[in-house]
Chain A
Amino acid sequence: MERVAIIGGSMTQFGQREDWIVDLLSEAGLACLEDAGVEASALDHLYVSNMASGEFEGQTGVMNALAHDIDAMPAYTQRIDQTSSSGGAGIYAAWQSIASGASEMTMLVGGEKMTHRTTGESTDVIASLTHPAEYKHGVTLPSFAGLTARHYLERFDAPRESLAKVAVKNHKNGVDNPHAQFQKEVDLETVLESPIVADPLRLYDFCPITDGSAALLFCPESVAREYTDEYAVIAGIDGATDTHVVHEREDPTVMGGVVESGEGAYEMSGYGPDDIDVAELHDMFTILEFLQMEGLGFAEQGKAWKLVEEGYTDRDGELPINTSGGLKSKGHPLGASGVAQGVEIYEQLVDEAGPRQVEADVGLCCNVGGFGNCVITTIMEAGQ
């Protein structure tokens, strides 16, 4: 099986955009092709990661619309929906398409258009992934975060400030990401005094609602060398699923999908947690950064908060986490987020991260759907 390379990446400006979903996808897709110096006609497969363009905008068939707009026919197209982990699932699908030999050039474009909806409407579209027994109670993803954060803080005697420090760190990183929705720092006091959304969590513990798109271009490593000397390789990738009903999990502070997909990606790559130089984690809520750090073996259970307090995950720390600003600062256009995580790790590995650049040969991204319901973990390494 030939190794799968990534030879191009792009992301649009994240935030409140006037463009609609297909325009956003086209913008990122064309930029990605340009970044790699590849013509659309070279694409064998074209995948679109998107959770809910039909629900948000009334536009379905976005993969076909994108193929037409960028003149990628007759490439095989497919839309990939795995809720918030649609982007990671798209990376997995793109990897499969190349590794299997079905395609020699696959582009993945993730995107979502959300901000034209009210916060309540967007929250409801996302909450529609819940079980009927949850949905009828008005359970939302933010409320899962509040329930889990309280449990974590009480059980592990962690200070409330430690969660706020995740937000402070990721906002600080986002300042240097020109595509981030928020390019401004926030201080601890601002986070801790912001309005309560799902106590103990407050406004700045949550990612924003976002429009945006991101893209990656995949090919066999042997083909990559025809285009560039600077590329990344997918060293390991795995996906896993946890319970649909969140309260049925044995331990509310363990995301089984993170653990399982992480173990699978580590095993495939031959790397372990200590080998990872930089990571993008799915910080849709600050508490999720702790749970993924622990699930992926970066910290022992109940101790991730201490590493954040010590600066271990700062950009100049031992393991920089969310150098892009994370979902927290960069924004979270559902279907784009997992792809954008991949773009950040790709750029870190090919030394294109600009002021966010850290020293990295191996990077990891973890994309979470629902509240850990579906998870994809991807490990990349710099191409040789």
Chain B
Amino acid sequence: MTMEAYRYEDGSISYPGHPRGPGGTEPVETIDLSEYTAEVVTWTTSTATPPGVREPNTLVIVEFDVDGRQSDSEGGSGDETVRAIGQATTDDLETGDTVRPVHVEELREPGAGIREPDSQEWDGYRFEPV
């Protein structure tokens, strides 16, 4: 399982990836964000959650400095950042905290909400303070 971001021809990175990036550029490589740590940009704990979602549900927006903060296995150049949103493993958080992705088999119960269960994946990564 990977947390796959796309890098585009212009050097920008997005998570999730899209068929076209900024300026209509095509993706040229994928980056596994699960190998990186990230910084908390903001967070909230939602107490009114939809069917099939844990309650309370702490969510964070985090920022990965992919090229400046190197992964265990790869070098990097430049200073491209990419943001992601996801559940947090705790509500004991502050803006600026460092977190790492932790894989979870099922982030919410498929089929409990309105979306067709087979239309998307339900596993993914929560963010855990380092």
Contact = CB atoms under 8 A, between A and B. Distances in A.
Interface of A: 55, 119-121, 123-125, 127-128, 131-140, 142-143, 146-151, 154, 195-201, 245-248, 252
B12 to A, nearest CB: 10
Given A120-B51, A124-B114, 16 more contacts: A125-B114, A127-B113, A132-B119, A133-B15, A134-B85, A135-B120, A137-B57, A137-B87, A137-B124, A138-B46, A138-B107, A142-B46, A147-B44, A195-B47, A198-B48, A199-B44
B41 interface: yes
Given A124-B114, A137-B59, A143-B57, A151 B50 contact: no
A124 B114 CA distance: 7
26 contacts: A120-B51, A121-B51, A124-B114, A132-B119, A136-B108, A136-B122, A136-B124, A138-B49, A138-B108, A139-B59, A140-B49, A146-B44, A146-B45, A146-B59, A147-B42, A147-B59, A147-B61, A147-B85, A148-B42, A151-B41, A151-B42, A198-B44, A198-B45, A245-B16, A246-B85, A247-B84
A150 B44 contact: yes
B34 interface: no
- Interface range for B: 35 or more
A21 B121 CA distance: 33
Nearest to A153: B42
Contacts of A127: 50, 113
Contacts of A119: 48
B86 interface: yes
A136 B121 contact: yes
A133 B59 CA distance: 13
B103 interface: no
A291 to B, nearest CB: 14
A154 B42 CA distance: 9
A124 B51 contact: yes
- Name, among B14, B113, B122, B124, the residue most crowded by chain A CB atoms within 10 Å (CB to CB): B113
B83 interface: yes
A245 B85 CA distance: 9
A311 B94 CA distance: 32
A196 B83 contact: no
B43 to A, nearest CB: 7
A247 B48 contact: no
A197 B44 CA distance: 9
Interface of B: 14-16, 41-54, 57, 59-61, 83-87, 95, 107-108, 113-115, 119-124
Given A124-B51, A136-B122, A138-B50, A150 B43 contact: yes
A208 B95 CA distance: 29
Contacts of A137: 57, 59, 85-87, 107-108, 124
B14 to A, nearest CB: 6
B46 A128 contact: no
Listed from nearest, the 10 A-B pairs whose CB atoms lie closest are A146-B44, A138-B53, A124-B50, A132-B120, A151-B42, A143-B46, A133-B16, A247-B85, A247-B83, A124-B113
B57 to A, nearest CB: 5
B45 to A, nearest CB: 5
Contacts of B114: 55, 121, 124-125, 128
Nearest to A55: B114
A142 B48 CA distance: 9
A247 B85 CA distance: 7
A125 B61 CA distance: 23
Contacts of B52: 138
Contacts of B83: 247-248
A125 B50 CA distance: 9
Nearest to B82: A248
A135 B83 CA distance: 16
A302 to B, nearest CB: 15
Contacts of A246: 85
A146 B124 CA distance: 22
A133 B61 contact: no
Nearest to B44: A146
Contacts of A151: 41-42, 61, 95
Contacts of B122: 136
A114 B20 CA distance: 36
A154 B61 CA distance: 14
